[in-house]
């Protein structure tokens, strides 16, 4: 049962590899915060030095004689190597059965790869390719009374069916001067995306919905609501009228949607993440970030401490 030699452990000889390994790990951890390149370099260093270290430590166990390592050569090299001058010592034999074994395994692996890779690709890639979201047309501007929120629910993909239904809360902030456009008067909108930035549940406006004023414009359902705050039914997240978090687990302000106005109609653009909003309505100062998964910080120290990184996966 118990081998006597196991009771006499002895320390391996001194080695410099652990230092390299430690540097690699430190680089990797720094890279998680600073940049992918440093992390990659750190990972490579850690793997290389870790392997060298493991090789050093296990030398005795593997029965390898240190220092006087005999030269060994992989089987494949033997076949590919050009015929050199005939060696005096008898060559290591390369039997037919070993060749057949290697070729059977190699051909099987090749066939397996040819069959498996496209199948795996088909499983994974459709989630990441050809995903153009259409711009949703929310209809004429007259449907949005000034200073009030309207619940607008629309189809993100025409033909996508009910499952592609999305909801935004739209508030018309009146006309404001746009300094970028020679100070022309332009309509301003606050458009909050209804998905909670905690874990994506449907945020509800906290106020009575005016069902009598409900409108349906080309499949877009518009319902005015008297709300100065928004709440999430799943885990109790609470937001104020500008979408700032007031209570509960959300980690940033409500996502907002870009918009444009074409031929007097309100057109929804892509959704972006918001760190914080100061001010209200047309004068709101929005700290804007690329869209990020719900539950992830976009600003502050947490965004640095928790390296989620990819702001948006390919769309």
Binding site for other proteins (CB under 8 A): 1, 32, 124, 126-128, 131, 133, 156-157, 160-164, 166, 199-202, 234, 293-296, 306-310, 312-313, 315
**Least CB distance from residue 187 to other proteins, whole Å?**
28
**Least CB distance from residue 167 to other proteins, whole Å?**
12
Burial (Cβ within 10 Å: 0-12, 13-18, ≥19) of residue 263: exposed
Query: 13: which 2 tokens?
Result: 């000889």
In the bound state with other proteins, the residue whose beta carbon lies nearer, of 32 and 286, is 32
In the bound state with other proteins, the residue whose beta carbon lies nearer, of 37 and 163, is 163
**Least CB distance from residue 29 to other proteins, whole Å?**
12
Determine how many CB atoms are found less than 10 A away from the CB of residue 307.
Answer: 12
**Least CB distance from residue 252 to other proteins, whole Å?**
13
Q: What is the DSSP string of 64-109?
A: PPSS-PPP---HHHHHHS---SPPSSPPPP--HHHHHHHHHHHHHH
Query: 241: which 2 tokens?
Result: 């009228």
Would you say 15 and 57 are in contact if contact means Cβ atoms under 8 Å apart? yes
In the bound state with other proteins, the residue whose beta carbon lies nearer, of 76 and 115, is 115
**Least CB distance from residue 171 to other proteins, whole Å?**
23
Would you say 137 and 265 are in contact if contact means Cβ atoms under 8 Å apart? yes
In the bound state with other proteins, the residue whose beta carbon lies nearer, of 161 and 179, is 161
In the bound state with other proteins, the residue whose beta carbon lies nearer, of 15 and 164, is 164
In the bound state with other proteins, the residue whose beta carbon lies nearer, of 56 and 299, is 299
**Least CB distance from residue 190 to other proteins, whole Å?**
22
Would you say 157 and 134 are in contact if contact means Cβ atoms under 8 Å apart? yes
SS3 (DSSP) at 276: strand
Run of H or E residues at 311: none
């Amino acid at each position: 049962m118990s081998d006597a030699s196991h009771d006499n452990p002895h320390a391996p000889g001194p080695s410099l590899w652990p230092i390299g390994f430690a540097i690699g790990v430190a680089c990797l951890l720094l890279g998680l915060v600073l940049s992918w390149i440093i992390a990659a370099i750190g990972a490579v260093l850690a793997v290389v030095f870790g392997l060298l270290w493991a090789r050093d430590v296990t030398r005795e166990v593997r029965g390898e004689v240190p220092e006087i390592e005999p030269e060994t050569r992989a089987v494949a090299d033997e076949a590919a190597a050009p015929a050199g001058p005939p060696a005096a010592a008898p060559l290591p034999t390369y039997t037919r059965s070993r060749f057949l074994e290697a070729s059977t395994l190699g051909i099987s692996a090749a066939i397996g790869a040819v069959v498996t890779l496209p199948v795996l690709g088909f499983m994974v890639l459709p989630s990441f390719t050809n995903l153009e979201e259409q711009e949703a047309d929310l209809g004429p501007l007259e449907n949005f009374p000034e200073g009030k929120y309207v619940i607008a629910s629309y189809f993100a993909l025409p033909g996508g069916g009910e499952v592609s239904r999305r909801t935004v809360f739209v508030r018309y902030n009146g006309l404001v001067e746009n300094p970028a456009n020679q100070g022309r008067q332009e309509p301003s909108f606050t458009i909050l995306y209804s998905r909670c930035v905690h874990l994506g549940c449907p945020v509800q406006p906290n106020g009575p919905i005016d069902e009598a004023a409900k409108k349906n414009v080309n499949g877009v359902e518009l319902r005015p609501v008297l709300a100065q705050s928004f709440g999430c039914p799943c885990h109790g997240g609470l937001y104020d009228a500008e979408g700032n978090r007031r209570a509960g687990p959300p980690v940033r302000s409500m996502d907002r949607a870009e918009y444009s106005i074409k031929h007097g109609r309100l057109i929804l653009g892509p959704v972006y993440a918001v760190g914080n909003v100061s001010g209200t309505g047309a004068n709101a100062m929005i700290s804007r970030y690329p869209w990020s998964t719900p539950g992830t910080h976009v600003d502050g120290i947490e965004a640095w401490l928790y390296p989620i990184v990819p702001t948006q996966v390919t769309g």
